[in-house]
Structure 1
């Protein structure tokens, strides 16, 4: 199938995938196991809501607005012997009064895993629909903003693919393939610094990744473990037909030092190419911008190389696993033509606490970032939402894996980039109380071809530091309180854009009135503080009812 046809097909399927992802593994499990499985869990909670929201702009203006919020959604968590999935899907209708216009919003997050062949072949999938505020340099912020904020953009992403793990005698064979699609809707308007030109915002992309490896564990054929593998990363970005094509082969060795510690390393060969086309230009040679505010690709122009490298790659490091609750991997090596550092640490001192840290270094685009974030989510989680707007928070509530898929959105620039950074998350659930905190740092160095409309972007660096937190406490059998907050500091490579900070926080109280019917009261504060533009801040309050079926 051609890439553009694939894009159209996946775009039409996205919202359907969000709605159906959670029930799918359960249906497959029922077909394979007609009798109930001990330890299985099915929790599907549809609901409808009605609320009245009051918003007061604190700066730069002082408008006070109100609107009615009607919503329907479902929260689901399904776990069985051979499948697991979680999803949160919400449709919201806003009915405005005065200066507030009517509007519709769909938000959701889902992640599922189905064992087609138990312990050997697994099919995984994930999907996301979310909203962000877009700054002039392309930086994003989460949070509930003015109901008519024209700088808000809708983001959709989904991925799916199989994972294989099997043995041929002592030979362990593993493999995986993943295809993903991401789309960003252009905001109606972005507030610019005087004299600034709008950046080319990401439109859509198709990402594909494939890996395969065969090897022997230490102590089977040899005292050390050995293996060979290969990998492929292909990303097709619609903006100027950008393309990442990354292929490598690699041999690795694992040398046990003790029962809990091993030295690991590998060496291989890699070919990487980043290319694009130019934009359509008018008679004066100025790039043409389409009705959606993005550069128009000249499909007849030749493909131009923006970055390429090939040659030896290597890495070396340690693996430490003193218990089932603790694991560490730290690596240093050479890839993409320079030194690279990667690693991970996980610690679960008890079933109620989980700490995870990751260090990454990737060549990717915005769509690749979302596909990676979705695939790293756990399959069992509870979505954390802003009670004022219904939007998703930076993290989900879970005691396993990387829980923050939205915290590291970063910039919506269309150009591909070298991404380096670190993320960390801590989650805890203890009786009536659960909470989590996460943060990260992301540095993106953009890559663009000389002579194209994106040439000026080449070498520009964006940096983003973010922090997200949530907490919930059950006061008694019928009532509880919840809170969530998010803040990110962004520093764009464009001097005129400067630095800024986006933030959002909300606090809610809910109480069951009768079986299935509960009342909610919430307050929130959100905004953006910027160096070169006026600050924006907004306070909101909500009262509403929810009926859960």
Structure 2
């Protein structure tokens, strides 16, 4: 089912790209096969293993006037040389497409396949290979249309999006025995619909006004979890100079998250299925995890001194406390861009992942090897208008519980001559909501957070060779009782050279993570690979 959804996303981009190719000839489709040999060394425990890999993938890019998009997908089969390490199937892929179907009617779609750590308290491998603990395979796909038109002086925009997320059960998490058990995310289906009517300042009155409304629903498989919300809101925008405007808004919203209880084999011991997930008691009443129902408001300032720079900041009252949000974008040139986002929302893992995916650019840097780009951190672009985005805040841990997500992300990307480089940093805080009346579910009131940073650099040495490097650091603070913070850091470098349709690469990496009560776990990895592009 998941692979069909991902392939459907691939097919959508390919069909859109094919139509665009017939009209403009601006689409490139490059399928390939690749073989590789990998060496993984556990430097702390003096253990080394090797495995071979056979991969098949495709890269698609469209840059036409009506269709902009890119897809990079890779399926890899790993064959271990050690009987203690099983063979493995891995999917990595990212797809983003934006298509103008007709006047005013557009389509946005995307898909993701990656692997990420599951339990925020557990191991934090740097670049995920075989035999790694606390790792889940993740799939996500979304898509939907939007329509924009005018009704007299007012602009009208309506949109709808649906998406699906699936997470496989993680490998051994590395958590000491006796620790409270967290849930294993299964899947979720979400829908979002919205409409907005806006009048610009000066068209009807000196100030502008916007009236908007929205609805959001998600149903998750684990414990029949549900997220349901709707809102209406009005905003005004008052220019005070050619470059500065004041804004304020007030709205009414209702958000409710809930789930059912698990079955119990004995008092305090919830029943688990064969995958280790809770077995839902379908006869149990739906229990409220979080609810808000009332008025919220905020005020702020918007600064746009020129077409390249835009910044806005808002402060108000929402979710029962002070709320801060903001956004800044700066396009220094065609190939240099910066973006920063301060966010605050009540959401779920599936919703946050699909939102983060939709905010990624339709043209991104896709690395030649499977180590330096696994699509579970920062993704960079070569365009100054869309510098990229980070998914670290989503993947700090995976949970079915709803939560309040607050934090900041900042991304910079630049292309100068033959060099491309970028950086991403961020801070994420989440307060988890789970019914405190449900035995065996231990997430209520837990507040976890993370800090992360990543640097990327690529240099084209000649027409047929290039080199790149990545450096990253992550810190995870679980927030649960008796669980200290977890550090993860490392670096990779890769050299590639082309011989016609054959591309060879050599990659090396050094990584470490610190778990409470354990020595720092150091590991090194090396890979040589050859790819044939059709």
TM more than 0.5? yes
Deviations 1:235-267 (A, max 9, x none): 222222222212111111111112221111111
The structure 1 residue matched to 2:128, chosen from 133, 144, 149, is 144
Cα drift, residue 474 of structure 1: 0.8
Check conservation: 1:134, 1:141, Cα contact below 8 A: no
TM-score of the pair, normalised by structure 1 = 0.92
Q: How does 1:143-542 map to 2 (within 5 A)?
A: 143-145=127-129, 147-384=130-367, 387-388=370-371, 391-392=374-375, 394-398=377-381, 399=383, 400-401=385-386, 403-408=388-393, 409-453=395-439, 456-512=442-498, 514-542=499-527
Cα drift, residue 12 of structure 1: 5.6
Check conservation: 1:504, 1:527, Cα contact below 8 A: yes
The structure 2 residue matched to 1:24, chosen from 15, 38, 42, is 15
Deviations 1:75-132 (A, max 9, x none): 22101111111111001111211233322111100100111123x1111101000012
Deviations 1:122-145 (A, max 9, x none): 111010000123346368665234
Structure 1 residues 191, 133: closer, same or farther in 2, change over 3 A? same
Q: How does 1:35-74 map to 2 (within 5 A)?
A: 35-36=23-24, 41-59=26-44, 61-74=45-58
Structure 1 residues 134, 527: closer, same or farther in 2, change over 3 A? farther
Check conservation: 1:74, 1:89, Cα contact below 8 A: yes
**What's the C-alpha RMSD, in Å, of the aligned pairs?**
2.0
Cα drift, residue 360 of structure 1: 0.3
Cα drift, residue 330 of structure 1: 0.8
Greater Cα shift, 236-245 or 365-374: 236-245
Cα drift, residue 422 of structure 1: 0.2
Structure 1 residues 57, 339: closer, same or farther in 2, change over 3 A? same
SS at match of 2:248: strand
Structure 1 residues 115, 24: closer, same or farther in 2, change over 3 A? same
Tell me which residue corresponds to 1:90.
Answer: 74
Greater Cα shift, 537-546 or 450-459: 450-459
Cα drift, residue 278 of structure 1: 0.8
Which runs of no fewer than 5 residues in structure 2 stay unpaired? Answer: none
The ranges of structure 1 where at least 4 consecutive aligned residues each deviate by more than 4 angstroms after the TM superposition are: 138-142, 385-390
Deviations 1:192-220 (A, max 9, x none): 12421331122211122211111211111
Tell me which residue corresponds to 1:77.
Answer: 61
The structure 1 residue matched to 2:87, chosen from 102, 125, 131, is 102
Check conservation: 1:142, 1:394, Cα contact below 8 A: no
Tell me which residue corresponds to 2:115.
Answer: 131
CA distance in 1, matches of 2:173, 2:350: 21
Structure 1 residues 328, 372: closer, same or farther in 2, change over 3 A? same
Check conservation: 2:182, 2:443, Cα contact below 8 A: no
Cα drift, residue 401 of structure 1: 3.1
The structure 1 residue matched to 2:100, chosen from 115, 131, 147, is 115
Check conservation: 2:116, 2:376, Cα contact below 8 A: no
Greater Cα shift, 67-76 or 386-395: 386-395
CA distance in 2, matches of 1:370, 1:503: 23
Check conservation: 2:77, 2:87, Cα contact below 8 A: yes
Check conservation: 1:385, 1:393, Cα contact below 8 A: no
CA distance in 1, matches of 2:95, 2:220: 24
CA distance in 2, matches of 1:411, 1:468: 18
CA distance in 2, matches of 1:298, 1:546: 50
Check conservation: 1:49, 1:545, Cα contact below 8 A: yes
CA distance in 2, matches of 1:70, 1:76: 20
Tell me which residue corresponds to 1:3.
Answer: none
Cα drift, residue 222 of structure 1: 1.2
CA distance in 2, matches of 1:289, 1:140: 25
SS at match of 2:265: coil
Check conservation: 2:123, 2:513, Cα contact below 8 A: no
CA distance in 2, matches of 1:490, 1:278: 29
Tell me which residue corresponds to 1:4.
Answer: none
Check conservation: 2:449, 2:477, Cα contact below 8 A: yes
Cα drift, residue 382 of structure 1: 2.2
